């Protein structure tokens, strides 16, 4: 309870300062009061507009993240287990890892247009490398003795993956999935701001063009709260899957 109250102290102070700034006339006509934002939030919910943008963004993030995980995990396993494969792909992956996803958005718009393909490509790009790197890290840190036991037991490749690689690399892999989701969520919002006609990022940009600061604040708060909820979900899943660590 004390920790929760302490965590609320700074947000409440920020809201108080915001309310005082609005009431004192700072940014007259531009800076809305907290009450005005709450009323706008009610209007957006009543019209269904906010729910529609949230649903579209969540569908995009789900599709893109699943695709990224489906590419990054096998690639990480191959790089960690087969050194010849790593020699071929490591240089290009190392280069691409240094380029932020936002830098690719203009190129993707030129090539793919402003349809869903562009948003999915940005999400996949943003989520791929944290998942990939943590998969490689988790596998390369497996104790050599475990590999020797797997060879003595004559595990097949499938058994090695199921009985050794995935359990041993699970902590690092789950951390990579969690970080990949966080990166892809931020990248999605940026992509929606530049190449979309729907979603929370588009909602903020549309509000900017109409000088609706209240709707901009609503979009920012909703993005932050959804991001926290998603991260909390991953944290809970991590605790459940890795509950054997606590028992140990």
pLDDT in tens, the chain (248 residues): 666 667 778 888 888 888 888 777 665 567 788 888 899 999 999 999 999 999 999 999 999 999 999 999 999 999 998 888 888 888 899 899 999 988 998 898 888 888 889 999 999 999 999 999 999 999 988 888 888 888 888 888 888 888 888 888 888 999 999 999 999 998 998 889 888 888 999 999 999 888 888 899 999 999 999 999 999 988 888 888 777 665 54
pLDDT tens-place string over residues 41-86: 999 999 999 999 999 999 999 999 999 999 999 999 999 988 888 8
Return the structure tokens found at 203: 């909602």
The rounded distance, in Å, linking the Cα atoms of 194 and 122 is 12
Burial class (CB in 10 A: 0-12, 13-18, 19+), 101: buried
The rounded distance, in Å, linking the Cα atoms of 128 and 22 is 42
Q: Which of 9, 7, 5, 27 is nearest to 18 (CA)?
A: 27
pLDDT tens-place string over residues 152-165: 888 888 888 888 88
Q: Given this model, what pLDDT does residue 245 score?
A: 64
Those residues whose C-beta lies under 8 Å from the C-beta of residue 244, and which sit 6 or more positions away, are none
CA distances from 241 to 69, 173, 235 (A): 17, 11, 10
Those residues whose C-beta lies under 8 Å from the C-beta of residue 76, and which sit 6 or more positions away, are 131, 132, 133, 134, 135, 136, 139
Specify the pTM. Answer: 0.85
Q: Given this model, what pLDDT does residue 12 score?
A: 84
The rounded distance, in Å, linking the Cα atoms of 189 and 193 is 6
Return the structure tokens found at 135: 């998969």
Cα atoms in the 13 Å half-sphere on the side-chain side of 80: 22
Q: Given this model, what pLDDT does residue 10 score?
A: 82
User: Domain 37-247 - what CATH class?
Assistant: mainly alpha
Return the structure tokens found at 90: 């490591």
Q: Distance between alpha carbon 189 and the CA centroid of its chain, in Å? A: 10
The rounded distance, in Å, linking the Cα atoms of 187 and 105 is 10
Helix extents (H) in 98-212: 101-112, 116-140, 144-152, 157-160, 166-194, 200-209
State the residue for tokens 């009431």.
23
The rounded distance, in Å, linking the Cα atoms of 10 and 18 is 12
Q: Say if CB 33 and CB 22 are below 8 A apart.
A: yes
């Amino acid at each position: 309870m004390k920790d929760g109250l302490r965590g609320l102290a700074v947000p409440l102070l920020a809201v108080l300062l915001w309310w005082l700034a609005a009431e004192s006339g700072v940014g007259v006509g531009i800076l809305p009061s907290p009450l005005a934002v709450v009323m706008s939030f009610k209007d957006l919910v009543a019209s269904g507009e906010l729910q529609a943008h949230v649903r579209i963004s969540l569908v995009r993030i789900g599709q893109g993240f699943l695709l990224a995980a489906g590419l990054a995990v096998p690639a990480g396993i191959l790089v960690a287990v087969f050194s010849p494969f790593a020699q071929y792909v490591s240089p290009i992956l190392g280069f691409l890892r240094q380029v932020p996803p936002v830098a690719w958005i203009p190129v993707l718009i030129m090539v793919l247009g402003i349809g869903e393909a562009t948003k999915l490509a940005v999400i996949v790009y943003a989520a791929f490398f944290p998942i990939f790197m943590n998969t490689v890290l988790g596998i390369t840190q497996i104790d050599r003795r475990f590999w020797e036991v797997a060879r003595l037991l004559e595990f097949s490749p499938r058994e090695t993956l199921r009985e050794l690689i995935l359990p041993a690399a699970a902590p690092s892999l789950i951390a990579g999935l969690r970080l990949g989701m966080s990166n892809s969520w931020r990248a999605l919002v940026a992509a929606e701001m530049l190449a979309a006609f729907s979603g929370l990022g588009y909602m903020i940009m549309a509000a900017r063009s109409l000088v609706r600061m209240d709707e901009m604040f609503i979009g920012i708060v909703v993005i932050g709260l959804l991001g926290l909820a998603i991260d909390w979900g991953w944290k809970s899943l991590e605790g459940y899957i890795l509950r054997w660590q606590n028992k140990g």
